[in-house]
Amino acid sequence: ETGVTQTPRHLVMGMTNKKSLKCEQHLGHNAMYWYKQSAKKPLELMFVYSLEERVENNSVPSRFSPECPNSSHLFLHLHTLQPEDSALYLCASSQDGSSGANVLTFGAGSRLTVL
| Contact set with other proteins (CB under 8 A) | 2, 4, 40-43, 45, 56, 90, 97-109
Q: Which is nearer to other proteins, 82 or 98 (CB)?
A: 98
Least separation, in Å, of the C-beta of 94 and other proteins? 10
Q: Which is nearer to other proteins, 41 or 83 (CB)?
A: 41
- What does the longest C-alpha to C-alpha distance in the chain come to? 41
Least separation, in Å, of the C-beta of 89 and other proteins? 12
Least separation, in Å, of the C-beta of 61 and other proteins? 20
Q: Which is nearer to other proteins, 19 or 111 (CB)?
A: 111
The number of CA neighbours under 13 Å toward the Cβ of 10 is 0
Q: Which is nearer to other proteins, 2 or 65 (CB)?
A: 2
Count of C-beta atoms within a 10 Å radius of residue 80: 14
Distance, in Å, from the CA atom of 43 to the CA atom of 34, rounded to the nearest integer, reads 10
User: Residue 52 in contact with residue 70, Cβ under 8 Å?
Assistant: yes
Distance, in Å, from the CA atom of 81 to the CA atom of 95, rounded to the nearest integer, reads 32
Least separation, in Å, of the C-beta of 63 and other proteins? 23
